[in-house]
Amino acid sequence: MSELKNIDWSHLAFDYVKTDYNVRCAFDGSKWGDIQVSDSEYINLHMAASCLQYGQEIFEGQKAFRGKDGKVRLFRIEENCKRIQDSARGLMMEPIETEKFIEMAEKVIKLNARFIPPYGSGSSLYLRPLEIGVTPRVGVRSATDYLMLIFATPVGNYFAQGFTTCKVVIYREYDRAAPCGTGRWKVGGNYAGGLRATERAKQHGYSAALFLDPKEKKYLDECGPANFFIIEGDRYITPKSNSILPSITNMSLQQIAKDMGLKVECRPVPVEELAQADEAAECGTAAVATPISEVYDYDNDIHYVISKDGKPGPVVTELYHRLQAIQKGEAPDVHGWMREIDV
């Protein structure tokens, strides 16, 4: 396939760009069907579908990279599959079969190969798998029929400024998810629930809202649509609670941190511990590892200044570059995270 013309690969936003094809697979109440290829950007959906009435909707985010050697690799697809299966079980939906999910992901990459950004551009091909309940429902109960769909789009950095520091803010009047709710699953409603806090944060000049635990408002939770971690000396510390999405990027950074000789702690992190942090970052498929220079506790009018010079710290910088090097084929994939795609 020829490369797309008129795309400035180095200046892509993190936004939707139309590509050639998406792939779909339906569950009819008894089994998953064959994978279908579509060039339509639209879904024919019943107005009473359970995804619209009662929020039976889950999704994933993952990336494919064109490496230094020209090969295309997909990052930790098996972990994304495990997580969407877990999300499905959490919302009483039908989990997709592992082999079928991976086949769909590989197929959508191959079908849209001309949209995979070139090595060195700083961009990647983003995959968005989603599963929705399509059975018409008026009574509150789970669907029997489901649609799994994966589309792909080339994206740049989630934050337009690239790898540089940002500032975030804490508002105690907002929750991202309930204490024993859907926070640990990748559900669209969790993100909708955080939009008001995020918009307010941006109006106040911050990149994101840092949410606290929804039960006691004492511990750090998620940072906007991403996980959060701090560096204290030789320790990589990330919050733990039932309302935090288990981030595959965070999991990977923890392993890299161990490879660097750091001690990894996953535990409740009190807000006040920010005063002891040497570095901080939000992390996820989109954000990768974005350094945080300051956290403002709005309700208590406390500024936790983490980076005195406003620049990324050495540990977060090293973590970021090591992960990127593995994804782009610049460093050995010693943990077997990358799946090579023959395009």
| Catalytic center residues | 186
- Tell me, letter by letter, the H, E, C secondary structure of 43-65: CCCCCCEHHHHHCCEEECCEEEE
CA 301/CA 27 separation, integer angstroms: 51
Going 263 to 264 to 268 to 269, the CA torsion angle's sign is positive
Structure tokens at 309: 């010079």
- Evaluate whether 253 touches 127 at the Cβ level (below 8 Å): no
Cα–Cα distances (Å) from 291 to 20, 57, 197, in that order, read: 35, 31, 20
8 A C-beta contact, residue 238 and residue 221: no
Q: Are 194 and 209 in contact (CB under 8 A)?
A: yes
